[in-house]
Amino acid sequence: MEMTQPVEALDASFDLVSRQDAADEAIDTLRTDVDDVKARLDRVSRAAARPILEGTSTMPQSPELKGFVDGYLRHGRETEMKSVSGAVPADGGYAVPREIDAMISARLRNISPIRSIAQIVQTGTAGYRKLITTGGTSSGWVSETAARSETDTPNFVEIAPPSGELYANPAASQSMLDDAAFDLETWLADEIAMEFARAEGAAFVGGSGSNQPEGFLTAPTTDENDSIRAFGSLQHLVSGDALGFDTSPELKLIDLVHSLKAGHRQGASWVMNSATLAEVRKLKAADGSFLWQPGLMEGQPNRLLGYPVVEAEDMPDIAADAFPIGFGNFRAGYLIAERSATSILRDPFTNKPFVHFYATKRIGGQVLDSDAIKLLQISA
């Protein structure tokens, strides 16, 4: 018995030492893990503190977009196009990935003034047609058991917006394309959108309809009101002076507002260029207050007689027989039909050492509801 107690005490001491060694080892491991985490956080912090090169995209790229940009646009490897859905070799180019097409569309909405207020439809073919009625279906009141006679059949009119192929042809040097810091997709979307916006903005206002959209100012006009005016003709009101506004221009603008049906006035807007807007901003009511109402908050549009003003530089200036001011619900009154896919052809041969990117898109446009747009003509 006397020898057993010292042995048991010795075993207990060894067990305690073993546990202490295990605890020390666990603490050392934990410290190592903590140091490793601190080192990783430090590397992340240093990376975040580095300045980002201007134009460098920070958005994650899909495999389709990366293959398209790095393979086809930068280096011309058409084998990379196998990863892009919607390849259209028959068009002489390839449909761009959805990311770049969405970037182009977003910039077009921001830059092209008429596009921002008109009705837009996406088509899968070169042409687009729509049937609309020029008069509603007739109806009548009857008693519960009375016979129902046939009502009049509405008249239909087919709308087929004239269209054309819009193109842009920006160029970049091969050294720019080889630079990994050069944000190629953003640059390309900006260049294409700027060219498209400039061309389509002019066409939506005054396009001839021959291989391009038909602008709303190209539609025939008359001073007849909605009840008797032929379908497709816009109503215009005169300014009262052969060269500008008469002595009461605010009354003409009020008449223009109320020549539009009440239903169309919900969502209506003014369209004019900056030169005309400069004259309109000076107009005052009889009590001396300005008709122009600046936006009270950032992002809110400026207003004229309570309706937002859209600046379209392709609208004509104030001059004899011109139509410098339009007012209406353009979402109901003007239709833009576009084929959704933008095609790009890479051309490194025409203008060496520059690489051209020939982008095309088919766009059409036409007045949809001639009751929804009114014009002010400079005339006595």
* Residue 273, domain CATH: 3.30.2320
Q: Determine, yes or no, domain membership for 82.
A: yes
CB atoms within 10 A of CB 273: 19
Q: 69 and 95 in one domain?
A: yes
CA–CA separation, 380 vs 13, rounded Å?
Answer: 115
Same domain, 67 and 130: yes
DSSP string, 104-151: HHHHHHHH-TTTTTSEEEEESSS---EEEESSPPP-----TTS--PPP
User: 112 and 238 in one domain?
Assistant: no
Q: Indicate whether 231 and 320 sit together in one domain.
A: yes
Cβ(285)–Cβ(133) below 8 Å: no
Residue 164 falls inside a structural domain: yes
Q: Is residue 313 located within the same domain as residue 354? A: no
Query: CA–CA separation, 176 vs 180, rounded Å?
Result: 8
Within a domain: 33: no
- Rounded alpha-carbon distances, angstroms, from residue 121 to 87, 210, 218, 337: 22, 20, 21, 5
Please classify residue 218 by burial: count the beta carbons closer than 10 Å to its beta carbon, then call 0-12 exposed, 13-18 middle and 19+ buried.
Answer: middle
Tokens of 177: 């394309």
347 and 321, same structural domain? no
277 with 352, same domain: the answer is no
**302 and 257 in a common domain:** yes
Distance CA 127, CA 368 (A): 15
Inside any domain, residue 275: yes
| Token pair recorded at residue 201 | 């903005």
- Spatial contact of 88 and 97, defined as CB atoms under 8 Å apart: no
Distance between CA atoms of 325 and 253, rounded to whole angstroms? 9
Domain annotation covers residue 16: no
The two tokens of residue 41 are: 């956080």
For residue 292, the enclosing domain spans 221-333+370-377
| Residues 181 and 261 occupy one common structural domain | no
Cβ neighbours of residue 272 under 8 Å, at least 6 residues apart?
280, 309, 311, 312, 315, 324, 325, 326
SS (H, E, C) 244-311: CECCCHHHHHHHHHHCCCHHHHCCCEEEECHHHHHHHCCCECCCCCECEECCCCCCCCCEECCEEEEE
Amino acid present at 377:
Q
pLDDT tens for the 380 residues of the chain, in order? 455 555 555 555 556 556 666 666 767 776 766 677 666 666 555 544 444 333 344 445 555 555 566 556 665 555 444 333 344 444 344 555 566 666 777 777 777 889 989 998 888 766 788 877 776 667 778 888 888 887 777 777 788 888 888 888 888 888 887 776 777 777 878 888 888 888 999 999 999 999 999 999 999 999 998 888 888 899 999 998 888 888 788 889 999 999 999 989 999 999 999 999 999 988 877 777 777 877 666 667 788 888 999 999 999 999 999 999 999 999 999 999 987 677 778 888 888 888 888 888 889 999 999 999 999 999 98
Domain for residue 22, yes or no?
no
Asked whether residue 34 is domain-assigned, the answer is: no
Residues 185 and 324 reside in one and the same domain: no
CA quadruple 12, 16, 21, 23: dihedral positive or negative?
Answer: positive
Q: Is the dihedral of CA 67, 73, 77, 78 positive or negative?
A: positive
Asked whether residue 70 falls in the same domain as residue 191, the answer is: yes
The two three-digit tokens of residue 351, written as one number: 């203008």
- Give the type of residue at 245: F
Please check whether residue 40 lies inside any domain of the structure. no
Q: What is the CATH number of the domain that holds 204?
A: 3.30.2400
Q: How many domains does the chain have?
A: 2
* Token pair listed for 310: 């859209």
Please give the single-letter amino acid code of residue 56: T
How many whole angstroms separate alpha carbon 207 and alpha carbon 376? Answer: 19
Residues near 223 by Cβ (< 8 Å), separated by ≥ 6? 235, 236, 237, 238
Both 228 and 319 in a single domain?
yes
